[in-house]
């Protein structure tokens, strides 16, 4: 009886062990040898660096622009201010927009915009707060965007909720992106 029970339980027990996950050690890190032989006699890697490029977009050329604008006494808008001009033969891909303002007490920025011709991108408003002594109201807005600008000027604009008092150098626009070559792009 014990033998029959043993013969019956042995395959069941072995199959249970076979179903258990096997613990495997993670593969150990491996050194990679990069061969760069523009000059076969050079052994020093600093004299013969490995070329690096953006394989996804080899034509991209980094770009950033910033402009500081203000409000004249009696004006509720800054007017259209050129932040950058895209040259002929290029397209500017703007990926990030940021706006910072330091307004007179009890004044708020209520609208911001970057645009080119008929294409417009509004920034989103993020109220940031006032300073401790109440002399200035700060406002910050930032967002990732995807804006394709053709050759020509890119303009920015800000609007406040007041006409009172000059407020020079109170709004800073920053755009970040990259140029790509575009032989068919003309102003």
Give the domain ranges of the chain: 61-181
Q: Is the pLDDT of residue 124 over 50?
A: no
Lowest-pLDDT choice from 39-48, 66-75, 87-96, 162-171 = 39-48
Q: Is the pLDDT of residue 116 over 80?
A: yes
What does the CA dihedral 87, 62, 102, 144 come to, rounded to 10 degrees? 100
DSSP 3-state percent helix, strand, coil across the chain (nearest 5): 10, 45, 45
CATH class of 61-181: mainly beta
What does the CA dihedral 131, 168, 124, 79 come to, rounded to 10 degrees? 160
Of residues 29 and 52, the one with the higher pLDDT is 29
Q: How many CA atoms lie within 13 A of 42 on its CB side?
A: 12
What average pLDDT does the structure give for the chain?
A: 77
């Amino acid at each position: 009886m014990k033998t029959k029970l043993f013969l019956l339980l042995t395959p069941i027990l072995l199959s249970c062990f076979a179903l258990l996950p096997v613990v495997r050690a993670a593969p150990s890190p491996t050194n990679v040898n990069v061969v760069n032989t523009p000059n076969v006699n050079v052994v020093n890697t600093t004299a013969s660096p490995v070329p690096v490029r953006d394989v996804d977009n080899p034509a991209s050329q980094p770009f950033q622009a910033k402009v500081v604008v203000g409000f004249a006494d009696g004006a509720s808008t800054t007017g259209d201010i050129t932040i950058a001009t895209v040259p002929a033969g290029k397209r500017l891909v703007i990926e990030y927009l940021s706006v910072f303002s330091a307004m007179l007490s009890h004044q708020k920025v209520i609208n911001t915009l970057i645009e080119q011709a008929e294409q417009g991108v509004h920034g989103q408003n993020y109220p940031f707060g006032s300073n401790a002594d109440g002399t200035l109201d700060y406002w910050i807005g930032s967002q990732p965007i995807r804006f394709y600008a053709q050759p020509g000027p890119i303009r920015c604009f800000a609007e406040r909720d007041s006409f009172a008092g000059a407020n020079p150098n109170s709004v800073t626009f920053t755009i970040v992106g990259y140029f790509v070559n575009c032989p068919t792009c003309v102003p």
